[in-house]
Amino acid sequence: MEIKTTAVAGTLESSDIQIMIMNGNNGIEVNLESDVAKAYGEQIKSVIVDTLKSFGLTNAKVKAVDKGALDCVIKARTLAAAQRATKTTDKPSLEVL
């Protein structure tokens, strides 16, 4: 799948995460800003990367600004940003995630 435009999903409110996805060339690169990055940074990045791979993206730059989001919120925001970036709303079936 191909990224057609830069896209954003999420807010900077407490318990949320803002995900920005743009074109990339070196696999999936995640730049994470989070107050809890020391404790949970690798888990947050893993959820983002796994969600994008399940969606079918292999090259993307991701900027994530976390405000204490749970994994389910991270996955939902990542999926929404990926759908907006690829201009698809019918893929994938949510059951695969």
Residue 30 has which token pair? 């995640």
The number of CA neighbours under 13 Å toward the Cβ of 56 is: 12
pLDDT digits (tens, 9 = 90+) for 50-95: 999 999 999 999 999 999 999 999 999 999 999 999 998 766 655 5
The CA distance from 46 to 90, in Å, is: 24
pLDDT digits (tens, 9 = 90+) for 6-57: 999 999 999 999 999 999 999 999 999 999 999 999 999 999 999 999 999 9
Of 76, 50, 45, 83, the residue nearest 62 (C-alpha): 45
